[in-house]
A = this chain, B = another copy of it.
């Protein structure tokens, strides 16, 4: 999620949530037991088999730094030393490659704030994620964890230094966690926490499955203007001999930044409800104009009081961004889902009930704007 102009709204009690959801469960009870994720077994899974040419994982980059606080225990505790080399800024990437994949451009799917690559896997209610769907449509798919998140790891030295008394607590980064209430409203499941839009596409009865996906965001450890994920994305795309790179929310503008690092591998940029930067230089717009760009927004942008202005303003800024790219000779498109006949889509559209219909619109854009030039 994008961090801007947020303000607090009144808390809604669990009891009223149950009423709003029209169920006998409170959200709390669902979280404890009522809405456990499905555990897929040979008996429970059906459908068309998935045939892969290859699958697995790898890392992009990473470099060695010296740490003087490998642990937070004086002298290194059982490890015997707090001094040593560690690897940082690497980016974990999972992939699946379908047979005869050479016909279609690879797609990189990057997650947003307080989330991991899990974003694009099985949905909270057990349906297919975009990762598998794009593979089934013939695209090699690459799902990273952002640097400093999940399987990419982070440099924990500063935390241990503070514990060891080598630095003041004020040197700690501010770690961001998304509360249940914030997620509900910022992701637009309804106007207020516990209330659901009549046409809401997110499977709110499995909201606990989304809450389980949310993990601490340590990006405050990284330099804002040169987040290593930017260059890692550029290098990944280059080593894939060209890729469409998609970012979401917090990372919506990351593909743009990767392009400004090196456009050579970038065959298309997709940003799902992320921030747009209209203050780039003419030279930067000229670079972005070399790559087809798709900006996607869902429904109800103005219908959550706490974030209406934030979302509507974000939408308008992206419209101006698109105009500037196109004025520079580029090929940028706004896909506002309600205008394409899809209603009720949330900020987490990759997990919405109609997530494959949204994916189809993205695939159509790739076919028309990226692969047309193949």
Contact = CB atoms under 8 A, between A and B. Distances in A.
B118 A57 contact: yes
Interface string A53-76: 111111111111001001111001
Contacts of A87: 31, 180, 208, 211-212, 214
Given A70-B176, A172-B163, A58 B42 contact: no
Contacts of A100: 42
Interface string A1-36: 001111111000000000000000001100110001
Contact of A85 (B5, B37, B179, B241): B179
Given A41-B240, A45-B97, A151-B150, A57 B172 contact: no
A52 B54 contact: no
A163 B156 contact: no
A169 B166 CA distance: 10
Contact of A55 (B126, B132, B216): B132
A71 B177 contact: yes
A78 to B, nearest CB: 4
A274 interface: no
Contacts of A57: 118, 121-122
Interface residues of A, number: 112
A28 B39 CA distance: 43
Q: How many copies are assembled?
A: 2
21 contacts: A4-B78, A36-B60, A40-B54, A49-B99, A57-B121, A58-B126, A58-B209, A59-B212, A70-B182, A72-B172, A72-B174, A73-B174, A77-B174, A79-B178, A87-B212, A116-B150, A117-B151, A153-B215, A154-B216, A165-B169, A169-B169
Given A90-B212, A169-B162, A181-B85, A236 B39 contact: yes
Contacts of A239: 39, 41
Given A49-B99, A87-B180, A160-B172, 18 more contacts: A7-B80, A31-B64, A39-B60, A40-B95, A41-B140, A56-B128, A57-B118, A57-B122, A67-B179, A72-B174, A72-B220, A77-B174, A86-B214, A94-B121, A116-B150, A151-B215, A156-B216, A165-B169
B180 A85 contact: yes
Given A41-B240, A132-B55, A212-B87, A177 B162 contact: no
B175 A159 contact: yes
A53 B62 contact: no
Interface in A170-193: 170, 172-182
A43 interface: yes
A212 to B, nearest CB: 4
A241 B44 CA distance: 11
A106 B43 CA distance: 12
Contact of A97 (B41, B71, B79, B212): B41
A81 interface: yes
Given A50-B52, A72-B175, A151-B145, A58 B86 contact: no
